[in-house]
Chain A
Amino acid sequence: MPAVATNPTLKGVHLTRTYGDGAKRRAALRDVSIDLFPGQLVLLMGPSGSGKSTLLAVMSGLLEPDSGQVLAEDGGDLRDVWTMTPKEREDFRLRTTGFIFQGYNLFPALTARQQLEIVLKWGGYAGGAEARRQADDMLEKLGLLPNRHKKPAHLSGGEKQRVAIGRALVKDPTFVFADEPTSALDWENGQRVMELLRDAAHDRGASILVVSHDHRLLPYVDVYYHLEDGHLEERPLIPAGH
C-alpha cells in the first residue's frame, strides 16, 4: 500500500439524507462521516438499499444532503461543496471529478477514442490533435488502443467498461466515483477493472470510491467501509487467502 497523505482530499461530515416525507419518510444516510485520501482506492459495501448510491451521490456533488458537509480540498483550502452555487459546483466537478457507472452509457455513434475526446473538448481541457493524443494515451493504458476506432456495438462488455473508465480518468480527476463498476462484468473483466482503478489511485494519486456488492473486490482496495441501514463503519481488510 502506498504512503497515504495525512490530509484527506474529500471529507463527508455528519451527513444525513432522507427520502420522501410523512409516513413514507426513509433515512438513507444517518450521520455518516467519511474521509477520502489521495492515492486510496476505497470500497463501500453494504446490502441493497443501505444507502451506498446515496452516499456516493452526496459526496460527489450530485445530491444535496439534508444536513452535514462535504468538504473538498480545492487549491489548498477546504471548501464545502454544498455551499457552492450550482455553477461553481458544476465547474468543480468538471475540474476534479470522474464517474463510472454500472451501465457504460457510451454514445452508440462514437468511437472509443471519441468517447474520451468529447470530454476533453467539451470540458475545455484540450482540442484537436492534443485531445486525440491524450485520448490515445489513456486508451493505451487501458489496453484499448487497437480498439480506438470501434463503436460500442463492436466492443465487449469489459472493453466498454474500460472505455467508460477511460472517459472518467482522461481529464486526470482528483476524485473518481464508481457505482457498481464490475457488476455487469464477468470476474475476469471485473478484476481487470479493479486493477485499472487501483493503478489510477496509486499512480495518479486519485481518491477513488467504489460501491459494490462483491466481496471478491476486497483484495484490490486500500480501505473498506460497510454501510448498513444508513450507518457507516470502517472494517479491517482481511488479507486475501483467509
Chain B
Amino acid sequence: MSYALQTLLHERQRYASGVLAVTFSAVLIALQCGLLLGLFKITSIPIDQTEGRGNSADVWVGSTGVPSVDLGKPIPTSYLTRIAGRPGVGMPELYIANFGNFTKPAGGTELCFLLGTLLDPDSLGAADVLTPELRAALTEPFTIVVDESDVNRLRLDHPYGKPKINGKEVKLVGTVKGLRSLAAPWVFCSLHTARQLLGFLLPPDHVTYLIARCDSPARARAVAKELREQYPDDMTAYTAQEFSTESRVYWLLRTRAGIALGYAALLGLFVGAVITAQTMYSATVASAKEFAILLALGIPRWRIAVMVLTQSFWVGLIGIALAYPICLGLREAVRAKIDVDLRGEILAGTAGVAILMALMAGTWALRSVRRIEPMDLLR
C-alpha cells in the first residue's frame, strides 16, 4: 500500500470532508445528467418502444429537416416507392404521429399525441407493449389505448362523460405500462382511427412517417444516407437510432435544460472543488513538519508533491466509490415515478470529472508544499 493511501486511511477524519465533497459533487452531476437523460428519453419513446426497442435496422422517413419525432409534417404516401425495392430493405410501413386536442370526459382539454400504426404482430411502428388483445381491440374505429400513468391526467377514469379527440368521440379499450409522457400523453390507435381523428389536419394520401426494416444496422445506415442524398429537398431519412438521438438532443437544447444542467453541475463541482482543495490544503499543512524533515534530508520536493497528488487521487476515487451506490440507490427509490438513466457513459464521465476535480484540488494544495521550509524546524 502506498504511503499516500496509508496516510489517508490512518487520518480518515481529516480527509473525510474532502471525500464527502467529491461524493456530493459526483452524486449531483450523475443524477442531474441521469435525470435529464431519463426525461428526454421520453421524447423518443415512439421510436424506441417499437419492435426490438428502436431497432437499429429500421429506417425512418419524414418531412424535410424534421428535428424530432413529434414534429413531423405530413408527407405523401407515394414516397413509399422511393424506399421500396431497394436491396436489403423490407416493405415500408405507414405511420401517423400528430398532436391532437383531447377533451376530458369531465370537461377541459389537454394536448395529446396520436400514434397511429399498423397493428399486425410484426408491425414495425406499433409499441411493443401493445398486446395482441389490445391490438385486436384497437382495430375497431375510434378506440384508443393510453399509458396507465396518463389515465388520471386525461380523466379517463371518469364514470360518465365521453372523451373526445379533435371533437370526435373516442373509446378507451385498455392501458399499457411504462410509456410515460412529458408534455402530451401518448395516445395509441390504428392508422385508420388516427386518420379519422386528424381529419383535414392530415391531407388524403399523406402520412407522417414511413418506416422500413433493413437487413442489418449497417444496411440501415447506408439506406438512410442514400435517401438523404437522393431526396434532400422534400424528405429526411434517419436510422431509428439516429432519429431517437436527434429527438432527444433537440428537446435537450430547445428547452435549455442542458444549459440549466450545466450551471447546476458546475456549481456542484465548484463547491466540491473548494471543499476538497481546503481539505487537501489543511492536511498538507498538518504534515508540514514531517515533510520539512524530508526536505532537510535532501529528499526532493517533487516527491512530496507526488504524495499529495496521489492522496488527492485517492480522495477522488473513494469519493466516487461512495457516490455510485448512493446514485443507484436514489435511482431505485424514484424508479416508480421518474426514470433516471445512469448509463455507463454517465457513470464513467462522472468518475472522470470527480477525479479530475480532486486532482485539481490537490494541485491547488501544492502551494502549501512550496512554502514548507526545513528551517521552520529550528525555531
B182 at the interface (CB under 8 A from A): no
Beta-carbon contacts under 8 Å, A84-119 to B: 90-95, 97-99, 101, 103, 105-110, 114, 118-119
* Chain B residue contacts of A103, Cβ below 8 A: 289, 377
Q: State A107–B379 Cα separation when bound (angstroms).
A: 20
CB pair B289–A105 under 8 Å, yes or no, is: yes
Of the listed stretches A56-64, A128-136, A224-232, name the one at the interface; the rest are far from the partner chain: A56-64
Question: In the bound complex, what is the Cα–Cα distance between A95 and B10 (angstroms)?
Answer: 31
* Interface pair B299/A119, CB less than 8 Å apart: yes
Measured between beta carbons, the chain B residues less than 8 angstroms from A60 are: 296
- Which residues of B are found within 8 Å of A92, using beta-carbon distances? 298
Judge whether B253 is part of the interface by a CB distance below 8 angstroms. no
Q: Report the number of A-B residue pairs with Cβ-Cβ less than 8 Å.
A: 83
Most buried by B among A53, A99, A110: A99
- In the bound complex, do residue A123 and residue B297 qualify as a contact, i.e. CB atoms below 8 Å apart? yes
Q: Are A94 and B298 in contact (CB under 8 A)?
A: yes
Give Cα A168–Cα B298 distance, bound, in whole angstroms.
Answer: 11
Neighbour of A110 across the interface among B6, B292, B299, CB < 8 A:
B6
Q: How long is the Cα–Cα vector from A179 to B296 in the complex, in angstroms?
A: 13
Q: A106-B290, A107-B7 are in contact. Are A97 and B297 (CB under 8 A)?
A: yes
Indicate if A167 sits at the interface (CB-CB under 8 A): yes
- With A56-B378, A62-B374, A123-B299 already in contact, the answer to whether A105 and B10 are too (CB < 8 A) is no
Complex partner residue of A122 from B7, B292, B299, CB under 8 angstroms: B299
Are B375 and A107 within 8 A (Cβ)?
A: no
Kindly state whether residue A79 has any CB partner on chain B within 8 Å. Answer: no
Main secondary structure of the interface of B (DSSP, over half): helix
B-side contacts of A54, CB under 8 Å: 378
Contact B298–A109 (Cβ < 8 Å)? no
How long is the Cα–Cα vector from A101 to B290 in the complex, in angstroms? 11
Q: Mark A195-239, 1 if CB is under 8 A from B, else 0.
A: 000000000000000000000000000000000000000000000
Contact B11 A167 (CB under 8 A): no
The reply to whether the CB of A151 lies closer than 8 angstroms to some CB of chain B is yes
Q: A103-B289, A107-B3, A167-B293 are contacts. A123–B377 as well, Cβ < 8 Å?
A: no
B9, B295, B299, B378 pick with most chain A CB within 10 angstroms:
B378
Q: Are the CB atoms of B297 and A105 closer together than 8 Å?
A: no
Given contacts A98-B297, A105-B293, A109-B11, contact A62 B378 (CB under 8 A): yes
> For the complex, is B300 an interface residue (Cβ under 8 Å from A)?
yes
For B279-305 the 0/1 string (1 means CB < 8 A from A) is: 000000001011011111111100100
- Bound-state CA distance A112–B50 (Å) is 66
Q: How far is the CB of A23 from chain B (nearest CB, A)?
A: 22
CB proximity of B374 to chain A, nearest CB, Å: 5
**Contact between B378 and A105, CB atoms less than 8 A apart:** no
Chain A residues close to B by CB (< 8 Å): 53-54, 56-57, 60, 62-63, 90-95, 97-99, 101, 103, 105-110, 114, 118-119, 122-123, 151, 167-168, 171, 179
Contact sample, A vs B, 6 pairs, CB 8 Å cutoff: A53-B378, A56-B378, A99-B297, A106-B290, A107-B3, A109-B3
Closest 4 CB pairs of A and B: A94-B298, A109-B10, A93-B298, A109-B7
